[in-house]
Amino acid sequence: MHWDSIQPARRYPDPAAGLREPRWWLLCLVYLGFVVYGSLVPLEWRAVPFDEALSRFAGIRFLELGTASRADWVANIVLYVPLGFLACAALFGIRARGAPALIGALTVFVLCVALAAAVEFTQIFFAPRTVSLNDLLAETIGSAIGVGVWLFGRWRVVRLGLAFAEGGRPSVLAALVLFVLAYGLFSLFPFDFVVSGDELAEQLTSRNHAWLISGCGQWLRCAAFWLAEVLAIAPLGFLLALLYPRWSWTR
């Protein structure tokens, strides 16, 4: 993708000049609250003696995951990616370079892992939450990805945000890029990927999947479903047309 085409106007010589640092703090705190809340819902307290809770947490282990649990595992990875990025931006800004950036990234990674461990421990006191090394591993992976995005790709994220607020063609392009990313994530949700031949065979024989047309019941329901699919993917065509206006009809 040509990122230059969605950069904001030249009046910001520094891509970070259009963003104020306190906004990163606000976004980070709001998202942190969302992570903690989402990890403890439905907020059903269960009384567990503290010594017993420590004993349970010390004995956590890896669990064998089914398809549904595997989807939750991947969701935990996705949940911690924005947290790692926003925490780096809030604590060290987006201008850090060299050794300070590396030290900042390592510091945030350790803090995110510590938070994940604290949340996992707290889940012992909330039903029906379960505690496992699987979740802790997923949250660690998500934190590492988020920190890596801040370390190596934060300027692209900032340029995309500035372009979205700029107005005009850059704003339209940025909005389409965000839509396509959201569409891709939504299409794969809940990330219940298969890991064996038996699971793949079960998916292929399911009525929820078909090579061309799936059995959706009545014709009116099918037409509405197909129309929704067409409208959902149409912005991708708009994005390609704006990025490559000189493409031939053959291409």
Q: How many helices (H) and strands (E) does the chain have?
A: 8, 2
| pLDDT reading at 12 higher than 70 | no
- Taking residues 189-218, what's their average pLDDT? 67
Cβ proximity of 74 and 193 under 8 Å: yes
Q: Which stretch of 49-63, 91-105, 213-227 has the lowest confidence by average pLDDT? A: 213-227
The reported pTM is 0.72
Write out pLDDT tens, residues 93-106: 888 888 999 999 99
Instruction: Pick 13 or 110 by higher pLDDT.
Output: 110
